[in-house]
């Protein structure tokens, strides 16, 4: 066997062993371009060029995927936030959805619901709601998706200025549909 052939074989064997170690380490395969939260057992695709900001899950979402600034006049970064709620007992998807909707409608001085429905996200039953909210800074349009797994409720909130929502809608849908329970 030639020296270069042995070297190639050694390199291939080394790479194969490294991949095997990673795959057997309990971490599993990690796709690039995804945010993984091992503790809360979920992952979500990161839109290209967007920033990832981790929070405490109390004051700030567990994770926020934040759009890049469009120009110097841009005053609002569109974002996708994932929150996880823990419950003492199992909660149904309908109960979580109703509680989330009621909380949203009471939290903001202006709340107008446009649409709601059922959706499937990576094999999991989910519900969504599309609404406008008003704040001091102006009006935002929001689409929220809710999922339940055991005693955990997952909320994916996609937020944009009302005037720019349609520009981001496809990114919001694609990202929310990439959400996986891990």
Q: Are residues 40 and 2 in the same domain?
A: no
Q: Is residue 23 located within the same domain as residue 97?
A: no
CATH number at residue 123: 3.40.1000.10
Any residues with CB less than 8 A from the CB of 60 and at least 6 apart, and which? 53
My answer on whether 17 and 90 are in the same domain is no
Q: Which domain holds residue 42?
A: 31-181
Note whether 44 and 1 are same-domain residues: no
Q: What are the pLDDT tens digits along the chain (182 aa)?
A: 554 444 454 444 344 333 333 333 345 567 899 999 998 999 999 999 999 999 876 666 789 999 998 887 777 889 999 999 999 999 999 999 999 899 888 888 899 999 999 999 999 999 999 999 987 778 899 999 999 999 999 999 999 999 999 999 999 999 999 999 98
For residues 98 and 169, the answer to whether their CB atoms sit within 8 Å is no
Quote the tokens at residue 128: 């969504």
Domain count, the chain: 2
- Please give the Cα distance from 59 to 32 (Å, whole number): 28
Q: Are 48 and 103 within one domain?
A: yes
């Amino acid at each position: 066997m030639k020296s270069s052939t042995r070297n190639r074989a050694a390199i291939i064997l080394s790479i194969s062993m490294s991949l095997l170690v990673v795959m057997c380490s309990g971490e599993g395969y990690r796709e690039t371009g995804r945010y993984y939260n091992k503790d809360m057992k979920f992952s979500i695709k990161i839109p290209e060029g967007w920033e990832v900001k981790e929070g405490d899950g109390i004051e700030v979402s567990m994770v926020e995927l934040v759009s890049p600034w469009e120009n110097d006049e841009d005053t609002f970064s569109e974002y996708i936030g994932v929150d996880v709620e823990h419950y003492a007992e199992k909660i149904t998807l309908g109960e979580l959805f109703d509680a989330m909707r009621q909380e949203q409608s009471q939290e903001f001085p202006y709340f107008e619901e446009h649409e709601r429905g059922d959706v499937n996200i990576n094999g999991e039953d989910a519900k969504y709601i599309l609404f406008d909210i008003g704040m001091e800074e102006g009006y935002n349009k929001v689409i929220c998706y809710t999922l339940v797994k055991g005693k955990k409720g997952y909320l994916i909130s996609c937020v944009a200025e009302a005037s720019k929502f349609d520009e981001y809608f496809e990114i919001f849908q694609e990202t929310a549909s990439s959400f996986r329970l891990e």
